[in-house]
Amino acid sequence: MTELRVTTAGESHGPAEVCVVEGIPAGLAIRTADIDLDLSRRQRGYGRGARMSIESDRCRFIAGVRQGRTLGSPICLLVENLDHANWLDLMSPEPRQQPSDRAVSPISVPRPGHADLSGSAKYGHTDIRDVVERASARETVGRVAGGAVCRRFLAEVGVMVRARVVSIGAVAASTAADPADPCTIDWDAAEASAVGCDDQEASAAMCAAIDRARDLGESLGGVFEIWCWGLCPGLGGYARMEDRLDGRLLGAVGSIPAVKAVELGNGFANAAKVGSEVHDPLTVRREGRKRWIARDTNRAAGLEGGMTTGMPVVVRAGMKPIPTLTTPLRSVDISTLEEISAHVERSDITAVPAAGVVGEAMVAIVIAAAYLAKFGGDSMSQFLSAVRAYEAGLEERGLWRRS
């Protein structure tokens, strides 16, 4: 029984962010460079705050990897928080012996929109710092590290995961893409863009919008898309509600901090259309004497009946503006119950480009879990043989063909 499990731990200004990935088979070639690439992509993006110039996120394998290969045991990844050096007193696990020079008064005024108030109510914290530290989006470092392991694993079966930003604030990209063909997106342009958007003109306008928001003490949200392709059909399932891959993807991407809407393809727009405009007719393709079933369109965004169709999976997410505002909203001090301006914590103007990288990680984790649930395998060779046998059987029956 191979169940993929990904767990993160770490406080924003604690010693490190940690991720434990259980269930990856033995024998997967992996290097710290594979993880570090995604960690540095997560740090990029116009509109990030001062913290990003302090950090230079790099991973260390603490367990599960030896001589560049996974062992089959839990993989533990550790990313040091360089800023921790500036927070030694405040973040000390031991009770402080003496007050430091630093102003260490507790935070008592919650930021509307952040976890501050509900988190204090839930755990009984009186210093909101006890909430802020774990609720911070810095936690996504661990997700991206674990997601990079899953990305490496998926690459072995020809699966790719990429994200692009399609809007920030009111500025939207005008680049059109065909969900049936990920090559209709210029992924290099998205990677080169300061905001992760493949439309150069829109990228410049997004940066200008971020500058305006900064001047106003505001923050901005936006929309990003995650594409995953190279999949075989039949991942996920329709027999049990928890197997449905739609729900798993929607939940995983919806668990990213500040994400408030997730759809598969044009899920919301499709709700207003008639059936013939929404579903993908099947067709027969031929090459020599071979015939197989295919689709010319991918309106289903790669999922039918809770399972992959073999077409690209496209997940779209809406992120709200970050709750920390340098021109703060009205709030209430939880120690005096008096109205006062919200606490201002160092933050980003927007983190939509970074959230796209986190989205890639979440999709990679869900898809890797679906592959492992279907094909199992203690070693990569066992896993790959099972995938190849299944794909060969589908091609034999003409139900699908790898393109």
Q: Should residue 138 be labelled a site residue for ligand EPS when binding is judged by CB under 6 A?
A: yes
What distance in Å separates the CA atoms of residue 48 and residue 219, rounded to the nearest whole number? 11
**Residue in 38, 348, 360, 391 binding ligand EPS, rule: CB under 6 A:** 348
Residue with smaller CB distance to ligand EPS, 157 or 213: 213
The 3-state DSSP class for residue 202 equals helix
Q: How far is the CB of 89 from ligand EPS (least distance, A)?
A: 16
Q: What is the largest CA-CA distance in the chain?
A: 82
Buried b (16+ CB within 10 A) or exposed e, 189-216: bbeebebbbbbeebbebbbebbeebeee
Angle between the 352-375 and 32-43 helix axes, to the nearest 10 degrees?
140
Q: Should residue 136 be labelled a site residue for ligand EPS when binding is judged by CB under 6 A?
A: yes
Residue with smaller CB distance to ligand EPS, 34 or 83: 83
Pick the piece of the chain touching ligand EPS (CB under 6 A) from 91-99, 118-126, 135-143, 267-275. Answer: 135-143
Q: Should residue 347 be labelled a site residue for ligand EPS when binding is judged by CB under 6 A?
A: yes
Q: Should residue 149 be labelled a site residue for ligand EPS when binding is judged by CB under 6 A?
A: no
Residue with smaller CB distance to ligand EPS, 83 or 186: 83
Q: Should residue 195 be labelled a site residue for ligand EPS when binding is judged by CB under 6 A?
A: no
Q: Should residue 316 be labelled a site residue for ligand EPS when binding is judged by CB under 6 A?
A: no
Residue with smaller CB distance to ligand EPS, 6 or 79: 79
The interface with ligand EPS within residues 11-30 (CB under 6 A) comprises 12
Angle between the 352-375 and 380-397 helix axes, to the nearest 10 degrees?
80
What distance in Å separates the CA atoms of residue 33 and residue 30, rounded to the nearest whole number? 8
- Other beta carbons within 10 angstroms of residue 273's beta carbon come to 12
Residue with smaller CB distance to ligand EPS, 140 or 298: 140
What distance in Å separates the CA atoms of residue 158 and residue 136, rounded to the nearest whole number? 34
Residue with smaller CB distance to ligand EPS, 82 or 294: 82
Type of residue found at 55: E
What distance in Å separates the CA atoms of residue 63 and residue 24, rounded to the nearest whole number? 12
Q: How far is the CB of 44 from ligand EPS (least distance, A)?
A: 11
Q: How far is the CB of 219 from ligand EPS (least distance, A)?
A: 9
DSSP 284-328: EEEETTEEEEEES--TTTTEETTEE-SSPEEEEEEEPPPS--SSP
The interface with ligand EPS within residues 35-94 (CB under 6 A) comprises 49, 51, 83
Tell me which residues touch ligand EPS (CB under 6 A): 12, 49, 51, 83, 136-138, 140-141, 322, 324, 345-348, 351, 354
